[in-house]
Structure 1
Amino acid sequence: MSETLVLVTGVGGFIAAHVADQLLERGYRVRGTARGPKYQALAETVKRPGLEFVRIDDVATSDFTAALAGVDAVIHLACPLPGRKSVEETFSSAIEGTMNVVRQAQRAGVKKLVVTSSFGCLLSPTHMPAFHGLTFTEQDWGVTDDAEFEQQKDNKFYVYFTAKIKTEIALWDFARAHPELEVATILPGYVIGPYSASFPLPADIASMGTNDLVLQIITGGAVLPAPNWLVDVRDVARAHVLALTRLPLGGHGDARFIVNAATYPWAKAAAHIARARPALAGRIVPLDTIAPLPGVLSGLDNTRSKTVLGVGSYITPEDTLGAAVDAVLALQKHWAQVNREIRCTWRQGLLKCSLGNIMHLNIFGQHMVVISSAKVAKDLLDKKGSIYSDRPQSVILRLCGYTRTFPLLSHNETWRKQRRLVAYEFNVGSISKYYALQEKEAVTLVRNLLDNPDNLMREIQMYGVNGFTFPKSASSNNYDIRRIGSIIMRVTYGYQVKSVDDRMLAIPLQSLGNFSKISTPGAFLVDQIPALQYLPRWMPGSGFLDKVDTWHQMFMDSCWDPYQWSKTNIDTGDALMPNLCASIIQSQEEPLSDDEEAQAVYATGSILGGGLDTNMSSVLSFLMAMILYPQVQAKGQAELDLVVGKNRLPELSDRPNLPYLRSIMAEVLRWSPALPLGIPHALEEDDDYEGYFLPKGSLVIPNIWEMSHDPEVYTDPMVFNPERFDGVDAEMAKASSLAFGFGRRVCPGMHFAEGTLFSIIMTTLATCDVLAGLDENGKEVMPKYAYTSGTISFPEPFPVKLQLRSAAAATLLADISTVE
């Protein structure tokens, strides 16, 4: 192997990876730069003799001293493609990035430099000369206009090519001032083709290079009416390596090289793909709908690259297109496989998810950002809440009405109005008025489970795992876990649920069941093809619209009926006080306007959906933990006996004096978060975080399970261990707060939800021992730490037995009235 060491910047990029491959094949040693997480991934996965990596987080500002140590030549390729960065970042990366590398290389004594430029440096950034039937050579230079630039700042191509022109001008000015430097620039056309087999495949569209234009063609996207001077990525890489071997090549006029195979319009490329790949023809927009070019396409003269550099013949456009299509199709399959692998699944009771702290993916055109670090979540979702608080929008959910409620509303003024109504009622200073209700319902739950222990899992199977399907023959006392629903109905509407089949609760729960079904990703084609929502009802394929009508009516009934009942019965006294509806209505001096009333209806309608399933899951996880960790149960009971005594039931006002019970609740929320992947946020603007470009519209998924089980934060994270918090409320809050969301989307009812859960925990432990249930043969069945998949995750069914701790405990439970 040669002793010549070449520094290749942005080595994981589309062209740079091929440059590294070809240098290694010629016997050179290669040191490649990469940013942050990408550097880590390359260093861990790419193992080739003669290849090493160095971390450079920002080419515009980083110190290259270590990167340039012992280097004989530099090939600089690192630069974002059009639209990948803001205007300021594009200029910084292109101009300052290039000049920072070049200046430091010159100071380090490196003389040989090959820099990637662009065909855009040959003509005006408007591109109009491209349609004047001209022939461009290396003697042509693009001219920039500052006044015109101000008018074109929103045009990503104009910005990109302006930056490239200014970069090459600055480069050659520096070269003239330092004649010892041997510099060459490569000006390629549109670069497409295969990906390097030595490097990881692109994780998303943002990193797939100009092949994204091929992806756009074969997925039915627009075919650009733009000039297409087409060249294979392998030829572009070869030109860089040949330029390095032939330095010095003279002054700036003699050391610029157009690298291009042919003039080949995108419409012609689409037509070729349709002919050569009949299976893809149906995906491509009708060729007769492609907009014509605005003039005669100019050409690029590649003579000097063939003769001076020695490129010789180029790979034909047809072969290049074939390789690019194969690469894109393989990439789609790879992304689909990655998507399957990152769908965190429960295996042997343990959620497996092999992600870094942040991962940016593209699944069938949808950008996804998966966050697995509490720090990253707070950096983005909390500190940048102004742009990370939107929700992804679903056509089917909108048609059914669910996006009218604030958990799913876009980040707008309507969302603010609704959330404000709920947050005011359930803030930490207001919820004490509901303590007595929460305590009473906790007692009723424990009492019913003592009488009918089999009801616990039967109810969970009805309302949780099976999508809220209610058996019509359910008995009146068969609604133990539905006690949580009863609490929510009472607090929200002042309504006392009367039986298991009470319509006032059954309809909202059925609507929640519908939501569970229709919100499953990919369940309805209308989310992928929105035009289907406009199909005439007589047309085949429109049958789903009839279901939509039914689901929409049920959703409306679930929100409006309880509200209207509450509104009507405030003055009659039938609506129990206090309640959220009454607080909203009575706080207004004038009757609510139609819009204000609608916001009140949908705000209150959000409460049941936001609180039922998650509380049910947490209660079951608590019971499971007490069976699996009896020493924790005993310690919690001892604290209750010491602080509260055995002559009364604990009350929520005792909570400040029960640090171990608070630790148990925090550990339940950490050990088994009900929403393991949270609720997705949507990014409202482009953002950049630690080297990741995060595009507007990205789905941002907080991987709460991974955050809660980070071994660097929580020792032995799979062990249920309340002692890990040392009784410190701040440490408990770090864990438990993850369960309630982030930033502006934090659950406004979190304090009330914690009160409900704490009331059940303290009442259960004060009066009962939680024991493993028995199977049909009378043998103990220990629960397994295993959970269902889905947005909200439940423990898999397990039997449980509550056993009274004493006769006094039975008396205390019996003394609590079930009537308000």
Structure 2
Amino acid sequence: MFNTTLDYNGVTWSIGLLVIVVLYVLRPYLRVVPLKSLPYAPGPPMRPFIGNIMDIGAGKLWLKLTDYKYEYGDLVYLQGLGKSILVVNSLKAMTDLFEKRANKYSDRPILVFGNDLMGINRNFSFCDYNDEWRAQRKLAHTALNLTAVKGYYGMQEDVAAVFARDLLQAPGNFMALMRLTASKIILAITYGISLDTPEDKYITILEESSRLGVKAAMPGTYLVDFLPILKYAPSWVPFQREAKYASHLMELSITGPFEHVKRDLEAGTAPPSFVQQLLTDPLHDIADFERRVKWAAGSMYGAGAETTYATVMTFILAMALHPGKQRLAQAEVDRIVGMDRLPTIEDRSRLPYVNALIKETMRWHPAVPLGVAHRNSEDDEYEGYFIPKSTLVIPNVWAIAFEPNEKYDPQAFLPERFLDPSQPTVDPSMWAFGFGRRICPGRFLAENSIFIIIATLLAGFNIAPPDTGELKAQFSSYLISYPEPFDCQIVPRSGIKASMIETRAAQSTI
């Protein structure tokens, strides 16, 4: 029998929602622009009610926004549905706003799905510039400052050697093995946890949580970020179910490893780690200490493992596509390091072509093509344009990476561009790890991890396209962009190299 009560409630809810949405959408058209009625930065044509904001939801968004740079300039403004977005397409503007005006531009976007429904703003990478951020950042700094990371050299070299040994045994499984390798480094440093397989329970949960997190952190992924009223939609709506699942998974991924360390501490078996050190010797000037340690530790995994994985996968893809550059780097490793050992992190300063190759890998496809968006805490003016308070400000680092060059084609894979003083190319380290107060505290650790894994691969293996089928460079579209699954050949350069890898891996303590 027809249920009139449920039908009436559903119609009432729908009409109420429609009225609220219409009023919300009309907000920007009723606003009086302060600061002497300065104009907004230019942008695509506006449409009735929705403005031009829906352009932000396109796949491979960095390509569209970079096209906008050449049509509208270094600043591109998008608005509608009650939201404002400013795309910043030059390193100068990013430096001016995020570093010179860090007091105004250090907040994070208000992402309803990610923050209100999933809870990623408990992670200090995504929370506003506030006391919570300061406390967690201080904790992370104890494990990730330039002096502290030197203590991890041996562990990182061990992990790289074990990765190389595992590739000898299962080269076709390189993507899963690299996932395991990136996870090993972060989990060993953060929790003292040693992992043996990609199917370990901690990796499984952390990877799925990270996947949902980077999806939620990408502006435009969910309509609810543009229409916050939708967060009150019924629980059966698909995005509500996804948010509930993601929130539960995030809590598991943060709590599980943390409780693991606490149990080991009680048993007196906890190995040295970030969490072990802090729980043993607490910082008494930080309130709510244990909770903040837990979330600071969880933040380190998402920021470190995901970007390291993305960069090394991009390197493997690039080497399969550009064997000539691989041979040049291998020749340098053989000449400088020698033929009787694997590289170490201490070798990094003596390998200029390898370093240029890594920089070109980071430039050729940035792991975070649109950076991590900022939000301004007050109205501002820049270059004669008005920037309203709470504007989502996107650093389009792709536009910097692919800046046209009179000498070097930005589309080409050319490490040599970083070795040519006559035509300087911006070092990716200037933009790959964030800006101002939001610069990634784990950048030194990440740079060392990426170097030692890539240098080890160059020393021990040849990477080539598959025997059958065409190899194409295709990448995902979320906040952290990875190569889509691909096939390639990874074979030891010689029997002597294979034996050297086996010997070094056997010395590992991981």
Q: When the two structures are superposed, what TM-score results if normalisation uses the length of structure 1?
A: 0.53
Do structure 1's residue 582 and structure 2's residue 276 form an aligned pair?
yes
Classify 1:561/1:774 alpha carbon distance in 2 versus 1 (closer, same or farther; 3 Å). same
Q: Distance in 1 between matches of 2:242 and 2:361?
A: 38
Quick one: which amino acid aligns to residue 742 of structure 1? F
Superposition map of 1:586-625 within 5 A: 586-588=280-282, 595-625=288-318
- Please give the secondary structure, in 2, of the residue aligned with 1:614: helix
1:373 maps to what in 2? Answer: 90
- Please give the secondary structure, in 2, of the residue aligned with 1:803: strand
Mapped contact 1:493–1:562 kept (Cα < 8 A):
yes
Quick one: which amino acid aligns to residue 493 of structure 1? Y
Quick one: which amino acid aligns to residue 488 of structure 1? I
Q: Distance in 2 between matches of 1:428 and 1:720?
A: 30
1:565 maps to what in 2? Answer: 260
Residue among 795, 806, 817 paired with 2:494: 806
For structure 2, the 5+ residue unaligned runs are 1-29
- Please give the secondary structure, in 2, of the residue aligned with 1:354: helix
Q: Distance in 1 between matches of 2:206 and 2:342?
A: 32
Quick one: which amino acid aligns to residue 84 of structure 1? V
Q: Distance in 2 between matches of 1:672 and 1:540?
A: 38
Quick one: which amino acid aligns to residue 212 of structure 2? N
Mapped contact 1:369–1:698 kept (Cα < 8 A):
yes
1:393 maps to what in 2? Answer: 110
Classify 1:565/1:339 alpha carbon distance in 2 versus 1 (closer, same or farther; 3 Å). closer
CA positional deviation for 1:522: 6.0
Mapped contact 1:511–1:558 kept (Cα < 8 A):
yes
Do structure 1's residue 655 and structure 2's residue 348 form an aligned pair?
yes
Residue among 374, 377, 394 paired with 1:684: 377
Q: Distance in 2 between matches of 1:573 and 1:810?
A: 39
CA positional deviation for 1:421: 1.4
- Please give the secondary structure, in 2, of the residue aligned with 1:367: strand
Mapped contact 1:679–1:702 kept (Cα < 8 A):
yes
Cα deviation, 1:716-763, whole Å, max 9, x if unaligned, reads 1112222212277x9677323311111111111011011111011110
CA positional deviation for 1:696: 0.8
Mapped contact 1:493–1:580 kept (Cα < 8 A):
yes
CA positional deviation for 1:201: 12
- Please give the secondary structure, in 2, of the residue aligned with 1:724: helix
2:5 maps to what in 1? Answer: none
Q: Distance in 1 between matches of 2:465 and 2:450?
A: 21
Q: Distance in 1 between matches of 2:104 and 2:207?
A: 33
Q: Distance in 2 between matches of 1:621 and 1:343?
A: 16
1:742 maps to what in 2? Answer: 435
Q: Distance in 2 between matches of 1:810 and 1:419?
A: 42
Larger displacement relative to structure 2 (637-646 or 593-602): 593-602
1:451 maps to what in 2? Answer: 169
Quick one: which amino acid aligns to residue 605 of structure 1? G
2:446 maps to what in 1? Answer: 753
Q: Distance in 2 between matches of 1:732 and 1:752?
A: 24
Do structure 1's residue 695 and structure 2's residue 388 form an aligned pair?
yes
Cα deviation, 1:491-544, whole Å, max 9, x if unaligned, reads 110001233322222222222233345556566665455566567xxx675786
Q: Distance in 1 between matches of 2:326 and 2:502?
A: 23
2:251 maps to what in 1? Answer: 556
CA positional deviation for 1:675: 0.9
1:148 maps to what in 2? Answer: none
Residue among 179, 191, 203 paired with 1:505: 203
Q: Distance in 1 between matches of 2:296 and 2:42?
A: 42
CA positional deviation for 1:426: 0.9
Cα deviation, 1:211-230, whole Å, max 9, x if unaligned, reads xxxxxxxxxxxxxxxxxxxx
1:145 maps to what in 2? Answer: none
CA positional deviation for 1:343: 6.2
2:33 maps to what in 1? Answer: 84
- Please give the secondary structure, in 1, of the residue aligned with 2:68: coil
Q: Distance in 1 between matches of 2:259 and 2:62?
A: 42
CA positional deviation for 1:396: 2.8
Do structure 1's residue 440 and structure 2's residue 158 form an aligned pair?
yes
Quick one: which amino acid aligns to residue 173 of structure 2? N
Q: Distance in 1 between matches of 2:238 and 2:485?
A: 36
Quick one: which amino acid aligns to residue 387 of structure 1? K
Q: Distance in 2 between matches of 1:524 and 1:705?
A: 22
CA positional deviation for 1:593: 7.5
Classify 1:643/1:617 alpha carbon distance in 2 versus 1 (closer, same or farther; 3 Å). same
1:788 maps to what in 2? Answer: 476
Quick one: which amino acid aligns to residue 429 of structure 1? T
CA positional deviation for 1:650: 0.8
1:360 maps to what in 2? Answer: 77
Quick one: which amino acid aligns to residue 503 of structure 1? K
- Rg larger for: 1
2:26 maps to what in 1? Answer: none
CA positional deviation for 1:449: 2.2
Quick one: which amino acid aligns to residue 118 of structure 2? C
Mapped contact 2:140–2:297 kept (Cα < 8 A):
yes
State, as a whole percentage, how many aligned pairs show the same letter.
33
Quick one: which amino acid aligns to residue 364 of structure 1? L
- Please give the secondary structure, in 1, of the residue aligned with 2:205: helix
- Please give the secondary structure, in 2, of the residue aligned with 1:497: coil
Superposition map of 1:90-129 within 5 A: none
Cα deviation, 1:450-502, whole Å, max 9, x if unaligned, reads 32222135x3xxxxxxxxxxxxxxxxxxx443211121111110001233322
Q: Distance in 2 between matches of 1:653 and 1:670?
A: 24
2:17 maps to what in 1? Answer: none
Classify 1:634/1:782 alpha carbon distance in 2 versus 1 (closer, same or farther; 3 Å). farther
CA positional deviation for 1:810: 1.1
Cα deviation, 1:277-319, whole Å, max 9, x if unaligned, reads xxxxxxxxxxxxxxxxxxxxxxxxxxxxxxxxxxxxxxxxxxx
Quick one: which amino acid aligns to residue 482 of structure 1? L
Mapped contact 2:417–2:425 kept (Cα < 8 A):
no
2:336 maps to what in 1? Answer: 643
Quick one: which amino acid aligns to residue 445 of structure 1? F
Q: When the two structures are superposed, what TM-score results if normalisation uses the length of structure 2?
A: 0.83
1:486 maps to what in 2? Answer: 184
Mapped contact 2:376–2:392 kept (Cα < 8 A):
yes
2:25 maps to what in 1? Answer: none
Give the alignment's Cα RMSD to 1 decimal: 3.2
Superposition map of 1:66-465 within 5 A: 83-86=32-35, 203=43, 330-332=47-49, 335=52, 338-339=55-56, 344=61, 353-355=67-69, 356-397=73-114, 398-457=116-175, 459=176
Q: Distance in 1 between matches of 2:263 and 2:302?
A: 23
Classify 1:378/1:518 alpha carbon distance in 2 versus 1 (closer, same or farther; 3 Å). closer
CA positional deviation for 1:439: 1.1
Quick one: which amino acid aligns to residue 478 of structure 2? G
CA positional deviation for 1:610: 1.1
Q: Distance in 2 between matches of 1:557 and 1:494?
A: 18
Quick one: which amino acid aligns to residue 807 of structure 1? G
Residues paired across the two proteins, number: 473
- Please give the secondary structure, in 2, of the residue aligned with 1:430: helix
Mapped contact 2:113–2:224 kept (Cα < 8 A):
yes
Quick one: which amino acid aligns to residue 304 of structure 2? G
The structure with the largest helix share of the pair is 2
Q: Distance in 2 between matches of 1:605 and 1:504?
A: 12
- Please give the secondary structure, in 2, of the residue aligned with 1:482: helix
Q: Distance in 1 between matches of 2:111 and 2:122?
A: 12
Q: Distance in 2 between matches of 1:335 and 1:515?
A: 26
Quick one: which amino acid aligns to residue 369 of structure 1? L
Residue among 418, 425, 437 paired with 1:725: 418
- Please give the secondary structure, in 2, of the residue aligned with 1:362: strand
Mapped contact 1:447–1:813 kept (Cα < 8 A):
yes
CA positional deviation for 1:803: 2.0
Cα deviation, 1:531-584, whole Å, max 9, x if unaligned, reads 66567xxx675786565444333222211221121133247564332x211232
